[in-house]
Each structure stands twice: as structure tokens, then as C-alpha cells.
């Protein structure tokens, strides 16, 4: 709550500064327009007398000059507003350029995968060091462990301890600075990243469902039969909710808002189980 109040106060101070600057600019523009109109009026008055170097000549020219000087406030205000809005929108261009500078991950690999890989699901981390940026601290520093095939392992720790970083290293979501990750004796750094992720399964901490039919969310490749999908849903204890909602052909709204967070988590678990991978990772907060 204190952090929230701090951010709200910062936003209010920024908004107040922006409003004050806008009002001060509007006042200065109006004073400038009043000065221009006053100057033209004085020139018209004194110019009608002899000996004054500036003269409009006729009353028609005086009216024309005043009519052109009057909208100077709105013209200047519109120009400055357009200029500042353009400068704000250029932030989007900066974001696009920033994303363009992000190096693309290496999709190719030097080693092809057997069709039945991973056969056992043995995972071995050898002195793995991972950092998210070059200037940041190590999220994983010299981590080594071995998970035998068929084991269920839970990693527990405080926020920032590196639990999610282990999954990121396993799925090559972030490059490993040092060390190796072996799955059934194969170094995952030599495996094409698409093939690697196609043979592993994960249930993310933030469950994600895309817009479309529920069947497509559970079985994106369309290879499983309805009976197999219902069997997996029953194992995940979400079959009754799906049947009550309308079955596998119900339409899932964007980001899965049709379901609660717990139901989305169970559907993602069913998707991972349906994949029948020897290596399945679950991430829970």
C-alpha cells in the first residue's frame, strides 16, 4: 500500500506540473496576442497623424491587420500542442527501435534430435550461470544439480532466488553465460530451439490462454482425440467445469478471461499433460 501511495503521489505531482506549465503557456500566449493587437491598434491610431513613419493608409487595412492578428493565440496554441503531442508519440518510435535492436535468438542447432527424445528425462545442470542483461547481477551463479528420470522436484525460495530462472535456462528463454544444461546427455545449447521447446512442456506461473476454441488451447497441434482430451481434463479435475460451460468447442475470450485464474492454471496443466513430455516444468508463486 505504501508503494502504491508513493506511485500515486508521484503521478499527481507530475500531472500538477504538466497542468501548471500548460496554464502558464496559455497565459503567455494570450499576453503575446494582446501585445500584438495593442501594437497594431497604436500604429493605426498614431499612423493617421502626420509625421509617423508607419501608416496603414486606409481603415480597411487596419481592420484586415486586426482580423489577422486576432487568431494568433489559437494558431500558436495549436502549433505548440501539435508539436508536444508529436514529441510524446515519438516515444512509441523509440520503443520500436529498442525492440529492433534486441538480438534475435539463435534458432538453428548443430545437433539433430531423435524422434523419441527425451527418452528418460534426466536433467543435469553443470555450473550454470545466467544473467538477464550484461549489466545485471547473476540470476543463477554456478548452479549444479542432477534430476534423475521420473523424479518430481520442487524448488523453493524467496522472490528473486532464481526459481523461474532455472526454467528459463532449461527452455533457453535467456542465454546461459557459463556452464551447460544436459537433458538425457544432450547439451540443449546444440539443439534447435524450436525442437527443444516442442519436446518439453511447461505450466507457466501466469497461465495463458489465447482467443479461440478451448480445444485449440488444450491441443494446439490437433493430434489428440476427444476421449484423450476429456481423460486429461478429468485428471486435472476440471472436466465438470468444462462440460458445464459448453464442452470443448466453447469460445475462449482473449487472455482466457472466460475462466478464473485457477481454472486457467488447470487447463494449462492439461495442455502440458496432453503433450506427454518426459520433462514438464510447473511454475507457481
Q: SS3 for 185-217, per residue?
A: CEEHHHCCHHHHHHCCEEECCCCCCCCEEHHHH
d(Cα 189, Cα 7) in Å, to the nearest integer? Answer: 42
CA atoms within 13 A on the CB side of 258: 19
d(Cα 227, Cα 235) in Å, to the nearest integer? Answer: 12
pTM: 0.56
**187 pLDDT exceeds 80?**
yes
Instruction: Give the pLDDT of residue 8.
Output: 95
Higher pLDDT, 133 or 15: 15
**50 pLDDT exceeds 90?**
no
The predicted-structure confidence for 200-242, as pLDDT tens digits, reads as follows: 888 777 778 888 888 888 888 788 888 888 998 998 888 888 8
The predicted-structure confidence for 70-118, as pLDDT tens digits, reads as follows: 787 778 778 888 888 888 888 889 899 888 887 777 777 777 777 778 8
Closest CA to 77 of 27, 35, 37: 27
Instruction: Give the pLDDT of residue 216.
Output: 87
Q: State how far the alpha carbon of 135 is from the alpha carbons of 131, 132, 139, 189, in Å.
A: 9, 9, 12, 23
Instruction: Give the pLDDT of residue 9.
Output: 94
Q: For residue 179, which phi and psi values (nearest 5 degrees)?
A: 90, -175
Closest CA to 266 of 217, 200, 220: 217
The predicted-structure confidence for 6-40, as pLDDT tens digits, reads as follows: 999 999 999 999 899 888 888 888 888 888 888 88
Instruction: Give the pLDDT of residue 261.
Output: 82
Contact between 262 and 182 under an 8 Å Cβ cutoff? The reply is no
Which helix H or strand E contains 147, and what residues bound it? strand 140-147
What average pLDDT does the segment 253-259 reach?
74
Q: Residue 252: which residues within 8 A CB-CB, separation 6 or more? A: 209, 210, 211, 212, 213, 214, 217, 258, 259
Contact between 55 and 65 under an 8 Å Cβ cutoff? The reply is no
What is the DSSP code string of 119-131?
SS--EEEEEEEE-
Q: Residue 25: which residues within 8 A CB-CB, separation 6 or more? A: 80
Instruction: Give the pLDDT of residue 283.
Output: 64
Phi-psi domain of 115 (left: phi exceeds 0; alpha: psi -120 through 50; beta: other): alpha
Amino acid at each position: 500500500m505504501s508503494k502504491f501511495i508513493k506511485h500515486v503521489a508521484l503521478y499527481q505531482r507530475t500531472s500538477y506540473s504538466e497542468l501548471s506549465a500548460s496554464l502558464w503557456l496559455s497565459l503567455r500566449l494570450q499576453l503575446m496576442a494582446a501585445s500584438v493587437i495593442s501594437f497594431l491598434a497604436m500604429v493605426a491610431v498614431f499612423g493617421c497623424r502626420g509625421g509617423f513613419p508607419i501608416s496603414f493608409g486606409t481603415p480597411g487595412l487596419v481592420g484586415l491587420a486586426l482580423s489577422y492578428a486576432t487568431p494568433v493565440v489559437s494558431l500558436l496554441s495549436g502549433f505548440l500542442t501539435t508539436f508536444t503531442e508529436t514529441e510524446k508519440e515519438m516515444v512509441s518510435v523509440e520503443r520500436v527501435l529498442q525492440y529492433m535492436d534486441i538480438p534475435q535468438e539463435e534458432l538453428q542447432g548443430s545437433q539433430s534430435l531423435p524422434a523419441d527424445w527425451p527418452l528418460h528425462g534426466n536433467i543435469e545442470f553443470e555450473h550454470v550461470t545466467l544473467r538477464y542483461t550484461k549489466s545485471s547481477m547473476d540470476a543463477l551463479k554456478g548452479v549444479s544439480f542432477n534430476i534423475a528420470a521420473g523424479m518430481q522436484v520442487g524448488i523453493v525460495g524467496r522472490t528473486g532466488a532464481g526459481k523461474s530462472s532455472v526454467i528459463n535456462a532449461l527452455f533457453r528463454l535467456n542465454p546461459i553465460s557459463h556452464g551447460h544444461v544436459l537433458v538425457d546427455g544432450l547439451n540443449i545449447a546444440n539443439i534447435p530451439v524450436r525442437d527443444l521447446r516442442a519436446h518439453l512442456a511447461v505450466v507457466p506461473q501466469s497461465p495463458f490462454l489465447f482467443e479461440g476454441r478451448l480445444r485449440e488451447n488444450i491441443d494446439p497441434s490437433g493430434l489428440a482425440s476427444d476421449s484423450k482430451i476429456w481423460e486429461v481434463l478429468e485428471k486435472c479435475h476440471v472436466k465438470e467445469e468444462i462440460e458445464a460451460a459448453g464442452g470443448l468447442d466453447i469460445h475462449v475470450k482473449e487472455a482466457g478471461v472466460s475462466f478464473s485464474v485457477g481454472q486457467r492454471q488447470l487447463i494449462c496443466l492439461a495442455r502440458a499433460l496432453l503433450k506427454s513430455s518426459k520433462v514438464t516444468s510447473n511454475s507457481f508463486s
